[in-house]
Amino acid sequence: MVFVDLLISTLTQGLIYALLSYGVFITYKILDFPDLTVDGSFPLGAAITGVLMLNGMNPYLVLLVSAGFGALAGLATGFIHVRLGVRDLLAGIITMTALFSINLQIAGSNLAIERSIDTIFTAKLTLILLGSMSLMQRKFIVALVIAVIVKILLDLYLKTKSGLLLRAVGDNSTLVTTLAKDKGTMKILGLVIANALVALCGSVVCQEQRAFASTMGTGQVVFGLATVIIGTTLFRRFTFVKGTTAVLVGSIFYKICIQVAISLGLPANLLKLVMAVLFLVVLVLGDKKKGGADYA
Amino acid sequence: MLELKNITKIYNPGQITETCLFDKFNLTVNDGQFVSIVGSNGSGKTSMLNIICGSIPIEGGEVLVGGKDIAKMKDYQRYRSIGRVYQNPAMGTCPNLTMLENMSLADNKGKVFGLSFGINKARENYYKEQLSILGLGLENKMDVKLGSLSGGQRQAAALIMSTLTPIEFLILDEHTAALDPKTAEIIMELTGKVVKEKNITAMMVTHNLRYAVEYGNRIIMMDKGGIVLDNSEEEKKKLKVEDVLEIFTSISIECGN
C-alpha cells in the first residue's frame, strides 16, 4: 500500500506542476522566449493564495485571482522586453528579482494555512462530489481535473485565430508584421497567458501544501524547461500528440524521476543539484534543435 | 498612388561611418503600374522598399499613399495596404504551420485575430483554387507543414499569401534571387500572372535585367541614391536588355567597379 500511496502522490505532483509546464511551453516552445519570470510568478501565485485564504476567500475564486496576478507579472516582463527593448532573458530576470520582494511584501513572511481553512481539496463542492475518497485520492482527482481542463482550454485557444497568430510569432515574426499585426503585442499576450498559468500552479501548490515559502520559486523555471523538453522529445516521432499532452507527460515523468531519486536515499539538500544535472542531460540528449511551434 | 517626396536617408548618422544614401529623393508610382527596379549593390533599391514599408527610419521627407503621409506609421500598420515577398523564401511563410494554417492566417489579414476558430474549412476550396493558379500541385498539400517544402514551393505560397487579401501595393524584394534558374523563371511568370489578374500596383527589385525588361510597364534604374533611367509604357516596350546592360555597365565603370 505504501508504494501505491507514493505513486498516487507523485502523480498528483506531476499533474499539479503540469500547469507550470503549460506556461513554459507557451513561452519557450511557441514563442521561443526563455522566460525567467516563472521563478517569481510561481511564488507570487502562492503568496496571493496564502493571504487570500487566511482572509477567508473561496478557494476556487482564489485560483482565478492568483492567475490574474500571474498575468500581471507576465505583462510586466512583456512590457520591459517589447516596449522598453530589454533582452528577453534580462527582462525576465528583472521581473523575477522584483517579485521576490513583492511576494514577501504581499505575504509578510512565510505563511502556513491552518487545517480549519478549506482548500480546493477540502471545500464543500469537492466533498459533495468526491466525499467518499481519502484526502490523497481526492487530491489526485482534483489535480487531474484541473490539469485536463486547463489543457483542453489551452488546446482550444491555440486553434483560434489569436492562437494561430501566437504560434506564427514564434515561428516567423516577419510574417506577422506583414499580416499588419504587432508582433510585440502578441509576445506580451503569450507572456501574460504563460505566467497566469504559472501563478495558477503556485496557487494549487500552496493549497496542497497549506504553506507559502518565499524561496519556493527557486528552480521552477528549470523544472518547466526540463519538462517541456522531455515531453516534446519523448513524443517527437508522434506528430499527432499535442504539445500540451507531451509536456503533461513530461511533468509527470520528471516528478517520478525525482521521487525515485529520493526513494533511493538522495539527501534533500542535493535535490536542486540533481534537478540541474537532469536538466543538463535532457538538454544534451533531447533538445538539439530548439525553437519554433512544435504544436499540431 | 504612392509618392516619395524629398526623402532623406542617412546611415549611421553622427558617426564616422555616416553615409548619405538619399538626399531629397523623389518618386511617384501611379495606380496599376508594375515597376521593375534595377541597380548595382548599394544603389538604394532595397532601402527604398524598406522606407516605403517602414522597416527603416528616415531622416526627412514624406511617404504618401493616396495623398496620406504614412511616414510616421509603424511598419505593421503600413502593411494593411502593402503585401511583401522577400528574397529569403523562409520569410514569407511559417515553417511549422501547415499550408491550410498559413493560408488561413494570410486570409485574415486586416481583420481581427480573435477567439473564433482559426481555420475556416469553408474557405479551403478557395485556398485550393488560389494555389492551383500556381500549377505546382500545392493545392494537394494543405496539411503539409511549409518547412518540409522546397524554397521555390514556399516562395510560390508566399506570393499567393501576400496577395490573398485586397492590397494596394505589392513589394517584391529580389524575390527570385535565392531560387535556381528554372524555379526563378516559374515564380517570375507566376508573379506576372498574379499582378495582372489581381490588378495590383507592384514594385519589384531585381538583379535579373531580362526580368526587369520583360515584366512590368515601367523600369527604373537606380545609382547612388538617385534615378538614372525611368522608362514606361511605349518607351519601355522598345527597351532591350542590351540597352539596359549598356547603361548599367557605364555607371559601374564610373564607380570603378
Task: Give me the pLDDT at residue B236, please.
Answer: 81
Q: What would the pLDDT profile of A81-111 be if each residue is shown by its tens digit?
A: 999 999 999 999 999 999 999 999 999 999 9
Nearest to A181 among B83, B86, B113 (CB): B113
What CATH number does the domain containing B164 carry? 3.40.50.300
Interface contact flag, B117 A160, Cβ < 8 Å? yes
Interface contact flag, B104 A164, Cβ < 8 Å? yes
Task: Give me the pLDDT at residue A121, please.
Answer: 94
Nearest to A162 among B95, B109, B114 (CB): B114
* A4 contact B CB<8A: no
Nearest to B96 among A160, A179, A292 (CB): A292
Q: What would the pLDDT profile of A57-87 be if each residue is shown by its tens digit?
A: 999 999 999 999 999 999 999 999 999 999 9
Q: What would the pLDDT profile of B119-137 be if each residue is shown by its tens digit?
A: 988 999 999 999 988 888 9
User: Nearest 10 degrees: CA dihedral of A279, A283, A286, A289?
Assistant: 150
Task: Give me the pLDDT at residue A236, please.
Answer: 83
Question: Domain limits of chain A?
Answer: 19-217
Residue A27 scores a pLDDT above 90:
yes
Measured between beta carbons, the chain A residues lying within 8 angstroms of B109 are: 179-180
Q: Each residue of B14-27: b (16+ CB within 10 Å) or e?
A: eeeeeeebbeebeb
Interface contact flag, B79 A167, Cβ < 8 Å? no
Give the B window 157-176 contacts with A, CB below 8 Å: 162
CB pairs under 8 A between A and B: 89
The radius of gyration of chain A from alpha carbons, rounded to an integer in Å, stands at: 19
Task: Give me the pLDDT at residue A184, please.
Answer: 96
Distance CA B17, CA A3 (A): 71
In the block, cell 500596383 appears at B201
Measured between beta carbons, the chain B residues lying within 8 angstroms of A163 are: 118
Tell me the average pLDDT across A172-184: 95
Locate the chain B residue with the closest alpha carbon to A294: B96
Task: Give me the pLDDT at residue A288, please.
Answer: 54
* A29 contact B CB<8A: no
Interface contact flag, B119 A168, Cβ < 8 Å? no
Residue B13 scores a pLDDT above 50:
yes
Interface contact flag, A171 B98, Cβ < 8 Å? no
The fraction of chain B above a pLDDT of 90, given in percent, is 60
Task: Give me the pLDDT at residue A296, please.
Answer: 39
* B68 contact A CB<8A: no
Instruction: Give the ipTM of the model, two decimals please.
Output: 0.90
Global pTM reads 0.91
Tell me which residue range forms the domain holding B179. 2-255
Three-state helix/strand/coil letters over chain B:
CEEEEEEEEEECCCCCCCEEEEEEEEEEECCCCEEEEEECCCCCHHHHHHHHHCCCCCCEEEEEECCEECCCCCHHHHCCCEEEECCCHHHHCCCCCEHHHHHHHHHCCCCCCCCCECCCHHHHHHHHHHHHCCCCCHHHCCCCEHHHCCHHHHHHHHHHHHCCCCCCEEEEECCCCCCCHHHHHHHHHHHHHHHHHHCCEEEEECCCHHHHHHCCCEEEEEECCEEEEEEEHHHHHHCCHHHHHHHHHHHHHHHCC
* Contact indicator for A45, A216 with CB cutoff of 8 Å: no
Tell me the average pLDDT across A229-243: 87
User: Which of helix, strand or coil describes residue A180?
Assistant: coil
User: What is the least distance, in Å, from the CA of B85 to any CA of chain A?
Assistant: 9
Locate the chain B residue with the closest alpha carbon to A176: B76
Tell me the average pLDDT across A126-132: 87
Tell me the average pLDDT across B183-202: 90
Task: Give me the pLDDT at residue B238, please.
Answer: 82
**How many structural domains are present in chain B?**
1
The fraction of chain B above a pLDDT of 70, given in percent, is 98
